[in-house]
Amino acid sequence: MTGFGTAEIETNNLTVKTEIKSLNNKFLELNVRLPRAFKDRDIELRQLLNLKIGRGSVSVNINVEKKQSNNGGDTLTINEALALSYSEKLKGLASTLKIDNVNLFNTILTMPDVVKYEETDGDDTDWHMIKESVEKAFLKFDEFRIQEGNVVAQYLKDCVEQIAHYLQQVEKEEGPRKESVKGKLLQALKDNKEEASIDQNRFEQEIIYYLEKYDIAEEKSRLSNHINYFTETLAQDANGKKLSFISQEMGREINTMGSKAYYFPIQQAVVCMKEELEKIKEQLLNIL
């Protein structure tokens, strides 16, 4: 699932800012950006995050700002000889090309190796600050994901309740459906055998045969069980794959019910159930 969390810790020497954000992914893809002074701690931080985050495309950005009053062992050097050489060459080029050299100073500063900043390795105290910042950012990140998860869970619950509602409509239409099948058979018989006498016993046997052939009682029962199982699983520590498997079983029963119905009001309810099921499947892609 998506998530976002930030944290900032400030002392007399440092300001540490951490930002964690993620997008949905079936696997864990961890992108960590650490200050150069702490690059040797990259594996340690990844191991820490691997224990906390199961999956997703996760980006962790850590920014460390040192206060001006305390530069530690960091050094800033300017290669004056190299800068002078650049200046002479660039002035000569400007003269040859007959162009102004107004921005010559800014250009020289951006040339390679003129200005060098050497940052000392971070010490344990600074590293503990970074880890503390990561921990705080993760708590907000996790809280964000829990809130989103609750929203998705409620959405899934509403969808499955709608399927149960349409299943109740199917139950109500069972009586009229049987009468409709019986009426159609009787009418077909009259249309084709107008003068023939009807064997009532035989006719009743045919009615029973067709009602059994197109009976959807088992499908309704299994679908009801799947709905209950889905709701129970959702209320627990829901596993996305498990919910996906249950939704597939629900889909099979709904499809079979629709193919057997041969009665428009029931087929309407089946279409509505399929619509709700597709909404469920779409959301389950985010919680596999």
Fold of the domain built from segment(s) 3-70+123-145:
Ribosomal Protein S5; domain 2 (3.30.230)
Backbone phi and psi for residue 14, each to the nearest 5 degrees, phi listed first: -135, 155
What integer pLDDT is reported at residue 126 of this predicted model? 87
pLDDT tens by residue, 86-126: 788 888 877 787 777 667 777 777 788 777 655 655 678 88
11-20, 48-57, 174-183, 197-206: least confidently modelled range: 197-206
Architecture of the 148-284 domain:
Up-down Bundle (1.20)
Amino acid at 27: F
What integer pLDDT is reported at residue 75 of this predicted model? 66
Quickly tell me which residue has 């193919």 as its tokens.
Answer: 259
CA of 100: how far to CAs of 55, 79, 88, 94, 96, in Å? 56, 25, 14, 7, 11
Distance in angstroms (rounded) separating the CA atoms of residues 65 and 87: 32
Backbone phi and psi for residue 111, each to the nearest 5 degrees, phi listed first: -70, 155
Contacts of residue 215, Cβ cutoff 8 Å, sequence gap at least 6: 260
Distance in angstroms (rounded) separating the CA atoms of residues 42 and 61: 12
Sort residue 113 into left (φ over 0), alpha (ψ -120 to 50) or beta: left
What integer pLDDT is reported at residue 32 of this predicted model? 94
Q: Domain ranges in the chain? A: 3-70+123-145, 75-118, 148-284
Stretch 152-181: mean pLDDT, rounded? 89
**Residue 16 contacts residue 62 (beta carbons within 8 Å):** yes
CATH topology identical between 3-70+123-145 and 148-284: no
- Out of 54-63, 83-92, 195-204, give the one with best mean pLDDT: 54-63
Q: Which helix (H) or strand (E) holds 166?
A: helix 124-192
Q: What is the DSSP string of 129-146?
A: HHHHHHHHHHHHHHHHHH
Q: Indicate whether 135 pLDDT > 70.
A: yes
